[in-house]
A and B are shown apart, each in its own frame.
Chain A
Amino acid sequence: METQERRWVGKNLKRREDPALLTGKAQYTDDVSLPGMLHAAVLRSPHAHARIRSIDTSKAKELPGVYAVLTGEEATGYVGPVPCFAAEPVEERAIAVDKVRYAGEAVVAVAADSRYIAEDALELVEVEWEPLPPVGDMERAMEPDAPLVHENLDSNVVYDHTFVFGDVEGDFASADRVIRRRLRWPRATAAPMETSGAVCRYDAARGRMDVWSNTNMLNFVAWVISGTLQMPPHMVDFHPMYTGGSFGSKHVLGKQIAIAGALSKATGRPVKYMEDRADNLMANDSQAPDRIYDAELAVSEEGEFLSLRLHTIDDYGAYFMFAITGNTNMMAQITGPYTIPSCETGIKAVLTNKNQQTVFRGAGSDVGNWVIERLVDAASDELGIDGAELRRKNFIQPEQFPYKIPTGNVYDSGNYEAVLDLALEHADLDRWREEQAKARAEGRYIGMGLATAQQRSTYFSTEFWFHNPAPATGLTTSPESVRIGVGPTGGITVTMFSPFWGNSPETVVSQLVAEEFGVDPEEVSVAYDSTMHALPSAGPGGSRMTVMLSGAVRGAATKVRRKMVEISAHLLEANPDDLELRDGRVWVKGQPDEARSLSIADIGMKAYWHKLELPEGMEGGLEGSFTYDHPYASMPSDDRTDLGAFYPIMGHACHIPVVEVDIETGQVKFLEYVAVHDVGTVMNPRSLQGQIRGGIAQGIGIALYEEVRYGEDGQNLTASLDDYLVPGAPDVPNVEVHHHETPSPFTEYGVKGGGEGGRMVAPPAVTRAVEDALSPFGIKIDEMPMTMEKISTWVRGARG
């Protein structure tokens, strides 16, 4: 039984999430209010590295309105260590025990009648400190005599391994030239507008706990967080919440949930803990890659790319929650859109006295794009070959897909030349070259950048562990589920088990259900359910939701439709093969007679209330659920020379920004920005374009403004949004967005994920544009952010 071809998939629908968000009716975590609920606040360490000699909380406990004051030591009676997915023994507690490892680490948590009283109580806590020398510089941290962040490790270098894929030595030996760069990617942070937090309600009488938190992996890792809460997983109910942005920062939230959970257990009352902005910027665990690269690209004189060699030192901060995930992620697309036959990547992960690194939109593949595109631009300069033509020469060709890159990951499909051509057609670089020449004659500096880069989507969970040598293995599932129910009056409800985090899951599932059942998306009811009622679902992250929901809805809808056909065949006395679902009715094919058809409501009514009219033995009701798993994945080899397919749904983009740089002030102004993205079949242009433009704003952010900075003493110097600069309305240009569609052969409807591409491709394009503007001064750019201060210093230096 078939429905019509694509009536709703691809439609430019307005988002169905928006009316509630626009009128203030959506409920975020901080909007949860329960009878008897207490409010928590956290005392944070003023030292980057110090031993806790003693803590006196007696005065704080005496303050009226205070219910509980917990030190780290006392909290161990209620909660265990927070989730850590690394093999290395790096233990983290929600509230520090014995010693603090970064400025801002939690030391004491208070629950009181109001946040005001809780914060008053913090002022009454007395801590006796033994300051230790902090280690903030990653290269210093690697030295044998450096102070240890974790004394149970014998070095701050927590992971050190070089992966070699293919004949790197041989390919380098045959090269005419090796392009070399030492590159510096800065520490940024996600900084969503909503901070992280949790409301926990422990019910001792029933032995269960309810958690309302903006964690995104609530379902996938519920059992792990339950371990922290020291509760059996099936006795903890995590409620999916509307999430005010994540960008990777809200995957787990073990600390926030543990703080609220410990205080709820201690007081027997519901407790809310929401980070304030300083908490978030100092201690959220969402700081991002902070890397020094020694990068080499082996090339022939004609511009053929032969091999890639990357060695990185990466500052992971004080803990190691996701192990080296930011480095493994980029192995999905390390060689970019190019046919590079071999590559090597050495990774030294270093622990320092900073808030830890986890993931931020792009999850390390953003860094990889910048590194390889920097090398390609350098090759273009050294070989004297135009950047666009050099890229074109090395592109993987459409007929080569599915294409296995040296690491073992597979690219499903693509047409990189078509994307490049579309971008060049809209950017009109010839005109800009004339403008550039004219401007230079007037002492103004215009530059054009171009980047062609990958946007991997839809991760597979082997990514979490394949960096550990065999025989280590881990998860081999990355599921997403939905349940579709058709009621007795024909209304269709689709239930998801992963939260909204700023993407468009409700719009997407209603489009999909409308497509599958031939109904209007507005008629579809969309719901979320908590973990006690949930089916396996990993949640948003790694640009997977549109792909995974497409598969899950297709699977569940197929089950429901099958039953609808069985019921209809029985009632219409027809052969099931002769029936079709069209415009919300089941028809006998070729018979337009409505009397010989059944509406979805007719079928629903029979399924629920007319047992004796159903086929004999058929179960009543009309619903179907489906757990969709990754559509294309494989295991890594034991020797890890082949990591398997783990991120194969591969998007691509070409960005061409044009900038003008004021060489006196260092200010960068955008004159034009063209972006062409290929994320397979476009599900909804309106929401995709929002994702792309928003991603580009964040990419411009790291290119020009954003950096988490620490002082010599280890203090976080960017603990407010006045100091951690994210782009504002005057800073971000309008972006001309175009789509090229190369459907994935592996996903339902051919969709690919598109949530991260803007941020992943903008940094190299903007860097090149600034470098091009400054080319009369011979300035080569090896670092970001390209702040006004840095640019004007570079120009002054170049002019001597």
Chain B
Amino acid sequence: MMQEDYLTVRLTVNGVAHRLGVEPRRLLVDALREDLGLTGTNVGCNQGVCGSCTVLVDGRSVRSCLMFAAQADGAEITTVEGLARDGEMHPLQAAFWEKGALQCGFCTPGFLMTGVELLRRNPEPGEGEIRDALAGNTCRCTGYEHIVEAVQQAARENSGEPIDTEGPPEVDIAAEVVRGEGS
């Protein structure tokens, strides 16, 4: 059960390259939240059920509580902090705000990442397709209707084009975090 060895993992998160020393068992969500300080991704269940911790790994939605950081070696990761550009909200974030698609906000980052993936894959989803795509994310506050409307609005505003295909902006910095013993 003790993990003596640390692995070196290279992750590009929201355009920033990182080199991390992690225990093999370290979850991706803990690497993002604790090692890189990206606390926008929230842990709702740690059981892979609720979808709150959803991030994009090489463009695909992943529950970051179900993936080891080591498994993401070499991957490009986008978290909720990576959606806004130049201080402007991502169109889906803006639509969530406009439609009142959040209350406590805890599940919201997960819904945004799932929604972005959906709109890249399917720029004109119907209501049923949206609800099916969001079925793996649980929201306890909203009753989902306003979330569905927000996804529809973002799709409309993007006039049927795949949303946000180019991924996060390239940032010309590299950060390095090497974890020490006992952390």
What are the residues of chain A within 8 A of B137 when measuring CB–CB? 728-729
* In contact, B103 and A691 (Cβ under 8 angstroms): yes
What are the residues of chain A within 8 A of B140 when measuring CB–CB? 191-193, 245, 247, 694, 698, 726
- Chain B CB within 8 A of A400 CB: no
Stretch of B5-13, B39-47, B66-74, B161-169 at the chain-chain interface: B39-47
* Distance, CA A243 to CA B112, complexed state (A): 19
Q: Closest chain A residue to B142 by CB distance?
A: A694
* In contact, B39 and A27 (Cβ under 8 angstroms): yes
Per-residue CB contact flags for chain A residues 226-259 toward chain B (1 = under 8 Å, else 0) read 0000000000000000111101000000000000
* In contact, A193 and B81 (Cβ under 8 angstroms): no
- Chain A CB within 8 A of B176 CB: no
Interface of A is mostly: loop
* Distance, CA A690 to CA B47, complexed state (A): 27
* In contact, A22 and B132 (Cβ under 8 angstroms): no
* Distance, CA A449 to CA B182, complexed state (A): 59
What are the residues of chain B within 8 A of A242 when measuring CB–CB? 105
* In contact, B104 and A194 (Cβ under 8 angstroms): yes
* In contact, B39 and A24 (Cβ under 8 angstroms): yes
* In contact, A502 and B2 (Cβ under 8 angstroms): no
* Distance, CA A160 to CA B93, complexed state (A): 52
What are the residues of chain B within 8 A of A694 when measuring CB–CB? 103, 139-143
* In contact, A18 and B104 (Cβ under 8 angstroms): no
* In contact, A116 and B100 (Cβ under 8 angstroms): no
- Cβ-defined partner of A193 (8 Å) among B2, B38, B104: B104
* In contact, A721 and B45 (Cβ under 8 angstroms): yes
- Cβ-defined partner of B145 (8 Å) among A25, A31, A117, A735: A735
- Chain A CB within 8 A of B178 CB: no
* Distance, CA A120 to CA B39, complexed state (A): 24
Per-residue CB contact flags for chain A residues 653-695 toward chain B (1 = under 8 Å, else 0) read 0000000000000000000000000000000001101110111
* In contact, B80 and A696 (Cβ under 8 angstroms): no
What are the residues of chain B within 8 A of A120 when measuring CB–CB? 1-2
Interface hits, A10-52 → B, CB 8 Å: 14-15, 17-19, 21-28, 30-31, 33
* In contact, A14 and B98 (Cβ under 8 angstroms): yes
* In contact, A194 and B135 (Cβ under 8 angstroms): no
* In contact, A245 and B144 (Cβ under 8 angstroms): no
With A18-B102, A33-B34 known as contacts, the answer to whether A276 contacts B141 (CB < 8 A) is no
* Distance, CA A504 to CA B141, complexed state (A): 12
Question: How many A-B Cβ pairs are below 8 Å?
Answer: 182
* In contact, A22 and B105 (Cβ under 8 angstroms): yes
* Distance, CA A691 to CA B141, complexed state (A): 7
* In contact, A720 and B49 (Cβ under 8 angstroms): yes
* In contact, A28 and B142 (Cβ under 8 angstroms): no
Q: Classify chain A's interface size.
A: 35 or more
* In contact, B47 and A721 (Cβ under 8 angstroms): yes
With A113-B183, A193-B106 known as contacts, the answer to whether A693 contacts B143 (CB < 8 A) is yes
With A14-B97, A689-B100, A722-B49 known as contacts, the answer to whether A23 contacts B40 (CB < 8 A) is yes
- Chain A CB within 8 A of B75 CB: no
What are the residues of chain B within 8 A of A690 when measuring CB–CB? 100, 103, 141-143, 146
Q: Closest chain B residue to A243 by CB distance?
A: B104
* In contact, A192 and B135 (Cβ under 8 angstroms): no
* In contact, A28 and B42 (Cβ under 8 angstroms): yes
* In contact, A64 and B182 (Cβ under 8 angstroms): yes
* Distance, CA A696 to CA B145, complexed state (A): 11
With A120-B2, A690-B142 known as contacts, the answer to whether A729 contacts B42 (CB < 8 A) is no
* In contact, B40 and A24 (Cβ under 8 angstroms): yes
- Chain A CB within 8 A of B177 CB: no
* Distance, CA A403 to CA B60, complexed state (A): 58
* In contact, A693 and B45 (Cβ under 8 angstroms): no
Q: Closest chain A residue to B26 by CB distance?
A: A116
What are the residues of chain B within 8 A of A18 when measuring CB–CB? 96-97, 102, 105
* In contact, B44 and A21 (Cβ under 8 angstroms): no
- Chain B CB within 8 A of A732 CB: yes
- Chain A CB within 8 A of B52 CB: yes
Q: Closest chain A residue to B101 by CB distance?
A: A690
* In contact, B143 and A193 (Cβ under 8 angstroms): no
Per-residue CB contact flags for chain B residues 43-61 toward chain A (1 = under 8 Å, else 0) read 1111101101000000000
Interface hits, B3-49 → A, CB 8 Å: 23, 25-26, 30, 33-34, 37-47, 49
- Chain B CB within 8 A of A394 CB: no
- Chain A CB within 8 A of B123 CB: no
Q: How far is the CB of A719 from chain B (nearest CB, A)?
A: 9
* In contact, A193 and B93 (Cβ under 8 angstroms): no
What are the residues of chain B within 8 A of A64 when measuring CB–CB? 182
- Cβ-defined partner of A194 (8 Å) among B42, B93, B183: B42
* In contact, A113 and B182 (Cβ under 8 angstroms): yes
With A24-B38, A26-B105, A722-B49 known as contacts, the answer to whether A729 contacts B135 (CB < 8 A) is yes
With A64-B182, A113-B183 known as contacts, the answer to whether A24 contacts B109 (CB < 8 A) is yes
With A24-B109, A193-B44 known as contacts, the answer to whether A245 contacts B100 (CB < 8 A) is no
* In contact, A114 and B104 (Cβ under 8 angstroms): no
Q: Closest chain B residue to A39 by CB distance?
A: B34
A interface with B by C-beta (< 8 Å):
14-15, 17-19, 21-28, 30-31, 33, 64-65, 113-117, 120, 123, 191-195, 242-245, 247, 276-278, 501-504, 686-687, 689-691, 693-698, 720-722, 726, 728-730, 732, 734-735, 758
- Given A23-B80, A502-B105, 20 more A-B residue pairs with CB atoms under 8 Å apart are A19-B89, A22-B97, A22-B108, A24-B80, A25-B40, A64-B182, A114-B183, A193-B138, A244-B104, A244-B105, A245-B104, A686-B100, A690-B143, A693-B142, A694-B139, A694-B141, A694-B143, A722-B49, A729-B130, A729-B144
Can you give 13 A-B contacts (C-beta < 8 A)? A22-B108, A28-B42, A113-B183, A116-B25, A194-B104, A242-B105, A244-B104, A277-B45, A502-B103, A693-B142, A694-B139, A697-B142, A721-B47
List of 7 A-B pairs having minimum Cβ-Cβ separation, nearest first: A24-B40, A21-B105, A244-B106, A502-B104, A697-B143, A693-B143, A31-B39
